[in-house]
Amino acid sequence: MLLDLVKIAHNAPTLPMHNYYAALILPLQARLLVAPPSSLNTTLRAVLLCIAIGVAFFGETFDTYDSFSAGVNYNLFIAGSCMHAVHLTFTKRSQIDAPKGNSSSKHSYGDLGWSGAFEMLINLRGMGMKWGMPSSKLPAVYKHFISETLLEMLKHHVIYLTAMAALTRLSQYNASEVIGRDVAMTFSLWCIAWSSLTLMYSMITLCVYIITKLRGKPFDKNRWPPMFGNPIAADSVRTFWNNKWQCMYRRHFMICGYEPVFNLIKALRIPGDIPHYCG
């Protein structure tokens, strides 16, 4: 049955546009989220979510067959954009900031403008927001921000190239020809994903730093701690996701994965919870 569903999805008609256009809908969702809440606002965000998911799934895929790394990063970008669209749809305005004044009316929320929308697009940890994580769970901020960020980018660039070279070389052999080939390839893939995510995060951080300085405004480096601490030091899945993953996309995974599975386990009356089964 699963193969039939995959075949149907593969043969489904595509839209006359690339699926990365789904990311262009995110600024509109973010702008609506930071506007005064209303029923129309919520409906428009839900409609934009359906459009974004539709474009991502049925749009034409960009040709990345000649480069494995480009294909991995491209698919991560599409998946991340879809998850962010879900986050921007189901996050309430009350979770961003407290209402002004003592009134509980929805009209007590002000319009945060495009600057607030930009904050919602780049603040994937929710720092300074009600749904965000405390800074105590995040890695220490760089003392010399620019130099240490550039050094981190150089380190992960070397890791990325080394892992890609190892993966390319190992893929030329069969498992019986090289002892530990599958383990080495798995570790190389993990290094590629780790270094790719870190490089993308560091580049975004530098872009925000440059734009902030060009606008003549102070850059708060405390809002941009390193992406990872030491994931290898995690002693359980819970510790990995809550501390070592450093809460990046934490709310996105909660909305798209944890909460639906938790509700399913609860509906089926299965004893225990997700952390119990994950260790």
Give the mean pLDDT of 188-215: 87
Does 220 score more than 80 pLDDT? Answer: yes
Q: Which residues pair with 60 in a beta bridge?
A: 18
Q: Is the pLDDT of residue 205 over 50?
A: yes
Which of 123-137, 196-210, 233-247 shows the lowest mean pLDDT across its residues? 233-247
How distant is the alpha carbon of residue 141 from its chain centre? 20
Mean pLDDT on 224-235:
73
pLDDT digits (tens, 9 = 90+) for 47-85: 999 999 999 888 888 776 666 667 777 888 888 899 999
Predicted confidence (pLDDT) at residue 245 exceeds the cutoff of 70 = no
**pLDDT surpassing 60 at residue 7:** no
263: its two tokens: 């509700």
pLDDT band at 151 (very low <50, low <70, confident <90, very high): very high
Q: What percent of the chain has pLDDT over 70?
A: 78
pLDDT, tens digit, 9 for 90 and up, residues 180-192: 778 888 888 888 8
| 66/135: higher pLDDT | 135
Model confidence at 135: pLDDT above 80: no
The overall pTM is greater than 0.95: no
Q: Mean of the pLDDT values across residues 9-24?
A: 77
- Paired tokens of 240: 């990995």
- 3-class DSSP state for residue 208? helix
Q: How far apart are CA 244 and CA 256, in angstroms?
A: 20
Q: Has residue 35 got a pLDDT over 80?
A: yes
Own/partner pairs, 195-199, CB within 8 angstroms, 24+ separation: 195/156, 195/157, 195/159, 195/160, 195/163, 196/69, 196/72, 196/73, 196/76, 196/160, 197/76, 197/227, 198/152, 198/153, 198/156, 198/227, 198/228, 199/153, 199/156, 199/157, 199/160
Listed ranges 118-122, 156-160, 209-213; the one with the highest mean pLDDT: 156-160
